[in-house]
Structure 1
Amino acid sequence: MLIMNDEHLFWALPLWRFVIDNGKEMCTLMDFSVMGPFVFHFIKRNYQQALWAQGLSRHSRDEIQEIIRKDLEAISRYLGQKPYLMGDTVTEVDCALFGVLAQFLWALSCSPFRNIIQKDFQNLERYCERIKNTFFSDWDDLLEK
Protein backbone atom coordinates (compact mmCIF):
# COMPACT_ATOMS: atom_id res chain seq x y z
CA MET A 1 0.00 0.00 0.00
CA LEU A 2 2.81 2.42 0.85
CA ILE A 3 4.62 1.66 -2.40
CA MET A 4 1.44 2.36 -4.37
CA ASN A 5 1.00 5.60 -2.45
CA ASP A 6 4.61 6.71 -2.87
CA GLU A 7 5.17 5.58 -6.47
CA HIS A 8 1.84 6.41 -8.14
CA LEU A 9 -0.62 8.40 -6.09
CA PHE A 10 1.85 10.93 -4.70
CA TRP A 11 3.32 11.69 -8.12
CA ALA A 12 -0.13 12.36 -9.55
CA LEU A 13 -0.24 15.50 -7.37
CA PRO A 14 2.67 17.43 -8.96
CA LEU A 15 1.77 15.96 -12.35
CA TRP A 16 -1.66 17.55 -12.12
CA ARG A 17 -0.46 20.79 -10.50
CA PHE A 18 2.53 21.57 -12.70
CA VAL A 19 2.01 19.73 -15.97
CA ILE A 20 -1.63 19.03 -16.75
CA ASP A 21 -3.17 22.07 -15.00
CA ASN A 22 -0.01 24.15 -15.64
CA GLY A 23 -0.34 25.71 -12.19
CA LYS A 24 -3.62 27.52 -12.89
CA GLU A 25 -5.44 26.34 -9.78
CA MET A 26 -2.35 26.54 -7.58
CA CYS A 27 -1.51 30.09 -8.68
CA THR A 28 -4.99 31.27 -7.70
CA LEU A 29 -4.39 29.95 -4.17
CA MET A 30 -0.82 31.16 -3.68
CA ASP A 31 0.81 34.55 -4.13
CA PHE A 32 3.50 34.33 -6.77
CA SER A 33 3.48 38.08 -7.40
CA VAL A 34 7.00 38.93 -6.19
CA MET A 35 9.01 36.64 -8.46
CA GLY A 36 6.01 34.71 -9.72
CA PRO A 37 6.75 33.62 -13.27
CA PHE A 38 10.43 32.90 -12.59
CA VAL A 39 9.82 30.92 -9.40
CA PHE A 40 6.90 29.01 -10.86
CA HIS A 41 8.83 28.17 -14.04
CA PHE A 42 11.77 26.88 -11.97
CA ILE A 43 9.53 24.72 -9.77
CA LYS A 44 7.59 23.44 -12.77
CA ARG A 45 10.75 22.51 -14.67
CA ASN A 46 12.15 20.61 -11.69
CA TYR A 47 8.91 18.68 -11.26
CA GLN A 48 8.71 17.90 -14.97
CA GLN A 49 12.20 16.40 -14.84
CA ALA A 50 11.39 14.44 -11.68
CA LEU A 51 8.11 13.17 -13.14
CA TRP A 52 9.89 12.01 -16.28
CA ALA A 53 12.57 10.24 -14.23
CA GLN A 54 9.92 8.67 -11.99
CA GLY A 55 8.03 7.52 -15.08
CA LEU A 56 4.44 8.65 -14.57
CA SER A 57 4.65 11.50 -17.08
CA ARG A 58 5.79 9.06 -19.79
CA HIS A 59 2.18 7.87 -20.02
CA SER A 60 -0.71 9.57 -21.81
CA ARG A 61 -3.30 11.43 -19.76
CA ASP A 62 -5.78 8.60 -20.26
CA GLU A 63 -3.20 6.04 -19.11
CA ILE A 64 -2.35 8.14 -16.05
CA GLN A 65 -5.99 8.46 -15.13
CA GLU A 66 -6.43 4.70 -15.50
CA ILE A 67 -3.34 3.97 -13.37
CA ILE A 68 -4.65 6.21 -10.60
CA ARG A 69 -8.17 4.79 -10.95
CA LYS A 70 -6.84 1.23 -10.52
CA ASP A 71 -4.84 2.27 -7.46
CA LEU A 72 -7.87 3.97 -5.93
CA GLU A 73 -10.00 0.92 -6.69
CA ALA A 74 -7.48 -1.39 -5.00
CA ILE A 75 -7.39 0.82 -1.90
CA SER A 76 -11.17 1.13 -1.87
CA ARG A 77 -11.63 -2.64 -2.06
CA TYR A 78 -9.05 -3.26 0.65
CA LEU A 79 -10.62 -0.64 2.92
CA GLY A 80 -14.15 -1.89 2.31
CA GLN A 81 -16.31 -0.79 5.23
CA LYS A 82 -13.49 -0.81 7.82
CA PRO A 83 -12.86 2.50 9.57
CA TYR A 84 -9.13 2.30 8.78
CA LEU A 85 -7.00 0.16 6.51
CA MET A 86 -5.91 -2.27 9.20
CA GLY A 87 -9.20 -2.27 11.10
CA ASP A 88 -10.17 -0.11 14.05
CA THR A 89 -6.80 1.54 14.65
CA VAL A 90 -5.02 4.18 12.59
CA THR A 91 -1.59 3.14 11.32
CA GLU A 92 1.30 4.82 9.53
CA VAL A 93 -0.19 3.66 6.23
CA ASP A 94 -3.44 5.50 6.97
CA CYS A 95 -1.49 8.68 7.70
CA ALA A 96 0.53 8.47 4.49
CA LEU A 97 -2.50 7.68 2.38
CA PHE A 98 -4.57 10.44 3.97
CA GLY A 99 -1.87 12.96 3.07
CA VAL A 100 -2.34 12.21 -0.62
CA LEU A 101 -6.07 11.48 -0.74
CA ALA A 102 -6.86 14.67 1.18
CA GLN A 103 -5.08 16.66 -1.52
CA PHE A 104 -7.02 14.86 -4.24
CA LEU A 105 -10.28 15.70 -2.47
CA TRP A 106 -9.70 19.17 -1.07
CA ALA A 107 -6.71 20.77 -2.82
CA LEU A 108 -7.20 19.74 -6.46
CA SER A 109 -10.79 20.76 -7.04
CA CYS A 110 -10.49 20.68 -10.84
CA SER A 111 -8.67 17.35 -11.13
CA PRO A 112 -10.23 14.16 -12.46
CA PHE A 113 -8.87 12.33 -9.40
CA ARG A 114 -11.28 14.13 -7.09
CA ASN A 115 -14.17 13.27 -9.38
CA ILE A 116 -13.14 9.60 -9.52
CA ILE A 117 -13.12 9.34 -5.72
CA GLN A 118 -16.42 11.16 -5.29
CA LYS A 119 -18.18 9.22 -8.03
CA ASP A 120 -16.77 5.70 -7.74
CA PHE A 121 -15.06 5.32 -4.37
CA GLN A 122 -17.18 7.10 -1.78
CA ASN A 123 -15.75 4.91 0.98
CA LEU A 124 -12.40 6.66 0.41
CA GLU A 125 -14.05 10.04 0.80
CA ARG A 126 -15.73 8.90 4.05
CA TYR A 127 -12.37 7.48 5.18
CA CYS A 128 -10.70 10.86 4.65
CA GLU A 129 -13.55 12.69 6.39
CA ARG A 130 -13.24 10.28 9.33
CA ILE A 131 -9.49 10.92 9.68
CA LYS A 132 -9.93 14.66 9.23
CA ASN A 133 -12.67 14.88 11.86
CA THR A 134 -10.83 12.62 14.32
CA PHE A 135 -7.36 14.14 14.15
CA PHE A 136 -7.85 17.59 12.63
CA SER A 137 -11.01 18.90 14.26
CA ASP A 138 -9.82 22.49 13.66
CA TRP A 139 -9.23 21.87 9.92
CA ASP A 140 -12.01 24.13 8.65
CA ASP A 141 -11.20 26.89 11.16
CA LEU A 142 -7.55 26.93 10.09
CA LEU A 143 -8.47 27.15 6.41
CA GLU A 144 -10.57 30.24 7.07
CA LYS A 145 -7.56 32.14 8.46
Structure 2
Amino acid sequence: MLTLLTYPSAFGLFSASPFCVKTAYMLQKSGQNWQRSDMLDPRKMPHQKLPVLRTPERLLPDSDLIRDWLEAQGADFDTGLSDVQKAQSRALIRMAEEHLYFQIVLDRWGNDEVWPILYDTFFTGIPALIRRPVSNSVRKSVLKGIVTQGIGRFSLAERLDRVERDLEAISAYLWQSSFLLGDHPTAADMSVGPILAAMRATPADTPLTRRIKQDNLLNSYIDRVEQAIPLS
Protein backbone atom coordinates (compact mmCIF):
# COMPACT_ATOMS: atom_id res chain seq x y z
CA MET A 1 0.00 0.00 0.00
CA LEU A 2 1.14 3.53 -0.76
CA THR A 3 1.47 5.92 2.17
CA LEU A 4 1.06 9.67 1.85
CA LEU A 5 3.19 11.49 4.40
CA THR A 6 1.24 14.68 4.97
CA TYR A 7 0.75 17.57 7.32
CA PRO A 8 -2.26 16.90 9.58
CA SER A 9 -5.80 18.08 9.01
CA ALA A 10 -6.31 21.72 9.99
CA PHE A 11 -8.77 24.56 9.50
CA GLY A 12 -11.44 22.12 8.29
CA LEU A 13 -9.27 20.80 5.45
CA PHE A 14 -7.67 17.41 4.76
CA SER A 15 -4.35 19.16 5.40
CA ALA A 16 -3.18 22.70 6.07
CA SER A 17 -0.95 22.31 3.00
CA PRO A 18 -2.71 22.61 -0.37
CA PHE A 19 0.10 20.53 -1.89
CA CYS A 20 -0.77 17.66 0.44
CA VAL A 21 -4.44 18.01 -0.53
CA LYS A 22 -3.49 18.07 -4.22
CA THR A 23 -1.52 14.85 -3.80
CA ALA A 24 -4.36 13.18 -1.92
CA TYR A 25 -6.71 14.10 -4.79
CA MET A 26 -4.32 12.57 -7.31
CA LEU A 27 -3.99 9.39 -5.26
CA GLN A 28 -7.75 9.16 -4.96
CA LYS A 29 -8.27 9.64 -8.69
CA SER A 30 -5.45 7.24 -9.61
CA GLY A 31 -7.28 4.26 -8.12
CA GLN A 32 -4.22 3.29 -6.10
CA ASN A 33 -4.62 1.79 -2.64
CA TRP A 34 -3.24 4.37 -0.23
CA GLN A 35 -3.30 5.60 3.33
CA ARG A 36 -2.24 8.78 5.11
CA SER A 37 0.40 9.22 7.79
CA ASP A 38 0.51 12.60 9.50
CA MET A 39 3.66 14.39 10.57
CA LEU A 40 4.69 17.94 11.47
CA ASP A 41 8.47 17.82 11.12
CA PRO A 42 9.66 17.00 7.58
CA ARG A 43 13.35 17.73 8.16
CA LYS A 44 14.31 14.09 7.64
CA MET A 45 12.31 13.84 4.43
CA PRO A 46 13.74 14.29 0.92
CA HIS A 47 13.67 18.03 0.13
CA GLN A 48 12.72 18.59 3.82
CA LYS A 49 9.13 19.24 2.73
CA LEU A 50 5.78 17.49 2.51
CA PRO A 51 3.99 15.81 0.82
CA VAL A 52 6.10 12.69 0.41
CA LEU A 53 4.79 9.43 -1.02
CA ARG A 54 6.16 6.22 0.41
CA THR A 55 6.21 3.68 -2.42
CA PRO A 56 7.48 0.09 -2.24
CA GLU A 57 10.79 1.31 -3.65
CA ARG A 58 11.50 4.67 -2.03
CA LEU A 59 10.31 7.93 -0.54
CA LEU A 60 9.11 10.19 -3.35
CA PRO A 61 9.00 13.95 -2.61
CA ASP A 62 7.16 16.82 -4.30
CA SER A 63 3.61 16.77 -5.64
CA ASP A 64 4.76 17.14 -9.27
CA LEU A 65 7.19 14.22 -8.98
CA ILE A 66 4.46 12.19 -7.32
CA ARG A 67 2.17 13.04 -10.24
CA ASP A 68 4.83 11.85 -12.68
CA TRP A 69 5.17 8.58 -10.78
CA LEU A 70 1.40 8.00 -10.65
CA GLU A 71 1.10 8.68 -14.36
CA ALA A 72 3.90 6.21 -15.00
CA GLN A 73 1.73 3.65 -13.17
CA GLY A 74 -1.14 4.36 -15.57
CA ALA A 75 -3.04 7.29 -14.05
CA ASP A 76 -4.41 9.94 -16.42
CA PHE A 77 -5.38 13.18 -14.72
CA ASP A 78 -6.14 15.05 -17.95
CA THR A 79 -8.47 12.62 -19.69
CA GLY A 80 -10.08 14.12 -22.79
CA LEU A 81 -8.02 17.32 -22.86
CA SER A 82 -6.45 18.62 -26.06
CA ASP A 83 -2.80 19.60 -26.23
CA VAL A 84 -3.79 23.26 -25.91
CA GLN A 85 -5.90 22.51 -22.84
CA LYS A 86 -3.02 20.59 -21.28
CA ALA A 87 -0.83 23.64 -21.86
CA GLN A 88 -3.48 25.84 -20.23
CA SER A 89 -3.59 23.39 -17.33
CA ARG A 90 0.15 23.72 -16.87
CA ALA A 91 -0.09 27.52 -16.82
CA LEU A 92 -2.99 27.51 -14.32
CA ILE A 93 -1.12 25.15 -12.01
CA ARG A 94 1.99 27.30 -12.10
CA MET A 95 -0.01 30.47 -11.45
CA ALA A 96 -1.65 28.90 -8.41
CA GLU A 97 1.40 27.18 -6.98
CA GLU A 98 4.08 29.77 -7.71
CA HIS A 99 2.08 32.91 -6.98
CA LEU A 100 -1.20 32.44 -5.13
CA TYR A 101 0.32 29.92 -2.73
CA PHE A 102 2.87 32.42 -1.42
CA GLN A 103 0.10 34.95 -0.86
CA ILE A 104 -1.50 32.39 1.47
CA VAL A 105 1.77 31.78 3.30
CA LEU A 106 2.22 35.50 3.97
CA ASP A 107 -1.44 35.87 4.91
CA ARG A 108 -0.94 33.21 7.59
CA TRP A 109 2.60 33.55 8.86
CA GLY A 110 2.86 37.32 8.55
CA ASN A 111 -0.46 38.06 10.22
CA ASP A 112 -0.32 38.65 13.98
CA GLU A 113 -3.96 37.60 14.31
CA VAL A 114 -3.32 34.24 12.66
CA TRP A 115 0.05 33.52 14.26
CA PRO A 116 -1.29 32.44 17.70
CA ILE A 117 -3.55 29.92 15.95
CA LEU A 118 -0.63 28.54 13.92
CA TYR A 119 1.40 28.35 17.10
CA ASP A 120 -1.26 26.28 18.85
CA THR A 121 -1.86 24.12 15.76
CA PHE A 122 1.66 23.23 14.67
CA PHE A 123 4.01 23.60 17.63
CA THR A 124 2.32 21.84 20.55
CA GLY A 125 4.56 18.79 20.09
CA ILE A 126 7.67 20.81 20.95
CA PRO A 127 8.73 20.79 24.64
CA ALA A 128 7.30 23.84 26.39
CA LEU A 129 10.71 25.14 27.46
CA ILE A 130 11.86 25.67 23.87
CA ARG A 131 8.52 25.95 22.08
CA ARG A 132 8.45 29.74 21.86
CA PRO A 133 12.01 30.30 20.57
CA VAL A 134 11.69 27.40 18.09
CA SER A 135 8.35 28.62 16.73
CA ASN A 136 9.60 32.20 16.45
CA SER A 137 12.68 30.99 14.59
CA VAL A 138 10.52 29.01 12.13
CA ARG A 139 8.24 31.99 11.59
CA LYS A 140 11.22 34.27 10.96
CA SER A 141 12.63 31.79 8.45
CA VAL A 142 9.29 31.48 6.60
CA LEU A 143 8.88 35.24 6.33
CA LYS A 144 12.48 35.67 5.18
CA GLY A 145 11.77 33.13 2.44
CA ILE A 146 8.70 35.11 1.34
CA VAL A 147 10.83 38.22 0.96
CA THR A 148 13.40 36.25 -1.02
CA GLN A 149 10.63 34.85 -3.21
CA GLY A 150 9.41 38.39 -3.83
CA ILE A 151 5.82 38.53 -2.56
CA GLY A 152 6.98 39.95 0.77
CA ARG A 153 8.40 43.04 -0.94
CA PHE A 154 4.99 44.34 -2.04
CA SER A 155 2.52 46.45 -0.10
CA LEU A 156 -0.82 44.89 0.84
CA ALA A 157 -2.57 46.90 -1.88
CA GLU A 158 -0.06 45.72 -4.48
CA ARG A 159 -0.41 42.12 -3.35
CA LEU A 160 -4.20 42.24 -3.51
CA ASP A 161 -4.09 43.71 -7.00
CA ARG A 162 -1.89 40.83 -8.17
CA VAL A 163 -4.19 38.30 -6.51
CA GLU A 164 -7.23 39.89 -8.11
CA ARG A 165 -5.81 39.46 -11.60
CA ASP A 166 -5.17 35.77 -10.94
CA LEU A 167 -8.65 35.23 -9.54
CA GLU A 168 -10.18 36.99 -12.55
CA ALA A 169 -8.25 34.64 -14.84
CA ILE A 170 -9.49 31.59 -12.93
CA SER A 171 -13.05 32.93 -12.94
CA ALA A 172 -12.96 33.41 -16.73
CA TYR A 173 -12.55 29.64 -17.07
CA LEU A 174 -15.28 28.89 -14.53
CA TRP A 175 -17.85 31.01 -16.34
CA GLN A 176 -17.53 28.49 -19.18
CA SER A 177 -17.78 25.18 -17.32
CA SER A 178 -18.16 23.53 -13.93
CA PHE A 179 -14.43 22.88 -13.68
CA LEU A 180 -11.49 24.74 -15.14
CA LEU A 181 -11.24 22.76 -18.37
CA GLY A 182 -14.54 21.00 -18.71
CA ASP A 183 -17.31 19.17 -16.91
CA HIS A 184 -15.05 16.96 -14.77
CA PRO A 185 -12.03 17.71 -12.56
CA THR A 186 -8.57 17.41 -14.09
CA ALA A 187 -5.04 18.07 -12.83
CA ALA A 188 -5.59 21.83 -12.87
CA ASP A 189 -8.54 21.51 -10.49
CA MET A 190 -6.56 19.24 -8.18
CA SER A 191 -4.07 22.09 -7.79
CA VAL A 192 -6.11 25.28 -8.07
CA GLY A 193 -9.00 23.95 -5.97
CA PRO A 194 -6.86 23.27 -2.87
CA ILE A 195 -5.06 26.61 -3.24
CA LEU A 196 -8.35 28.51 -3.23
CA ALA A 197 -9.69 26.32 -0.41
CA ALA A 198 -6.60 27.11 1.67
CA MET A 199 -7.04 30.81 0.98
CA ARG A 200 -10.64 30.59 2.17
CA ALA A 201 -9.75 28.52 5.25
CA THR A 202 -7.12 30.79 6.80
CA PRO A 203 -8.39 31.05 10.41
CA ALA A 204 -8.87 34.83 10.56
CA ASP A 205 -10.80 37.55 8.79
CA THR A 206 -8.28 38.82 6.23
CA PRO A 207 -8.69 40.57 2.86
CA LEU A 208 -7.85 37.28 1.12
CA THR A 209 -10.36 35.19 3.06
CA ARG A 210 -13.04 37.83 2.52
CA ARG A 211 -12.28 37.99 -1.20
CA ILE A 212 -12.92 34.27 -1.59
CA LYS A 213 -15.86 33.97 0.80
CA GLN A 214 -17.72 36.79 -0.91
CA ASP A 215 -17.31 35.30 -4.39
CA ASN A 216 -20.14 32.87 -5.15
CA LEU A 217 -18.45 31.55 -8.29
CA LEU A 218 -15.19 30.64 -6.54
CA ASN A 219 -16.93 29.35 -3.42
CA SER A 220 -19.11 27.03 -5.45
CA TYR A 221 -16.10 25.85 -7.42
CA ILE A 222 -14.14 24.98 -4.28
CA ASP A 223 -17.11 23.00 -2.99
CA ARG A 224 -17.54 21.17 -6.31
CA VAL A 225 -13.91 20.04 -6.32
CA GLU A 226 -14.21 18.76 -2.75
CA GLN A 227 -17.43 16.93 -3.57
CA ALA A 228 -16.09 15.46 -6.82
CA ILE A 229 -13.02 13.95 -5.15
CA PRO A 230 -14.07 13.16 -1.57
CA LEU A 231 -11.27 12.49 0.91
CA SER A 232 -11.94 10.50 4.05
- Structure 1 unpaired stretches of 5+: 139-145
Which is greater in Rg? 2
* Aligned equivalent of 1:123: 217
Which one of 98, 101, 118 corresponds to residue 196 of structure 2?
101
* Aligned equivalent of 1:13: 104
Runs of 4+ in 1 over 6 A off after TM superposition: none
Contact 1:72 1:117 in 2 (8 A): no
How is 1:27-106 mapped onto 2 (pairs within 5 angstroms)? 27-32=119-124, 34=127, 35-106=130-201
- For the aligned residues, what is the CA RMSD? 2.0
Which one of 95, 114, 121 corresponds to residue 4 of structure 1?
95
1:130 maps to amino acid: R
Cα distance in 1 for partners of 2:137, 2:100 equals 23
* Counterparts in 2 of 1:54 and 1:137: CA distance versus 1, 3 Å: closer
Please give the per-residue CA displacement for 1:83-115, whole angstroms capped at 9, x wherever unaligned: 110011211111111121111112344221121
1:24 maps to amino acid: P
2:179 maps to amino acid: Y
Relative contact order, CA 8 A, sep 6+: which one is greater? 1
Identical amino acids, percent of aligned pairs: 25
Give the drift of 1:18.
Answer: 1.1
* Aligned equivalent of 1:136: 230
1:23 maps to amino acid: W
- Structure 2 unpaired stretches of 5+: 1-91
User: Is 1:25–2:120 an aligned residue pair?
Assistant: no
TM norm structure 2:
0.54
TM norm structure 1:
0.82
